[in-house]
Amino acid sequence: MIARVILDIKHQEMNRLFDYLVPAKWEPFLSLGMRVVVPLGESKRMGYVVELVEESEFEVKEIIEVLD
């Protein structure tokens, strides 16, 4: 499962969705609106799950942590 995440960054070029792989241990309960920590470059960022889909056209990294 792929989570589409909007990142909590106030920058014009970051105002888009990013796709992240949902680890199997979180698939049963991850839902829309939940806060997650995801990798972005060399750092980690907090974001919100806005959509769950089965596939992504991009190479995706895994969600690091679910906060909610």
Angstrom CA distances, 62 to 10, 11, 28, stand at: 23, 23, 16
At 9-59, the pLDDT tens digits run 776 666 789 999 999 999 999 999 999 999 998 999 999 999 999 999 999
Task: Give CA–CA dist 47/68, Å, rounded.
Answer: 11
> Residue 27 has what DSSP assignment?
T
| Spatial distance between the Cα atoms of 12 and 28, rounded to a whole number of angstroms | 33
Q: Tell whether pTM > 0.95.
A: no
Whether the per-residue pLDDT at 63 is higher than 70: the answer is yes
Return all residues near 31 (Cβ < 8 A) that are at least 6 apart.
Answer: 49, 52
pLDDT value for 54: 96
Is residue 26 helix, strand or coil?
A: helix
pLDDT at 8: 78
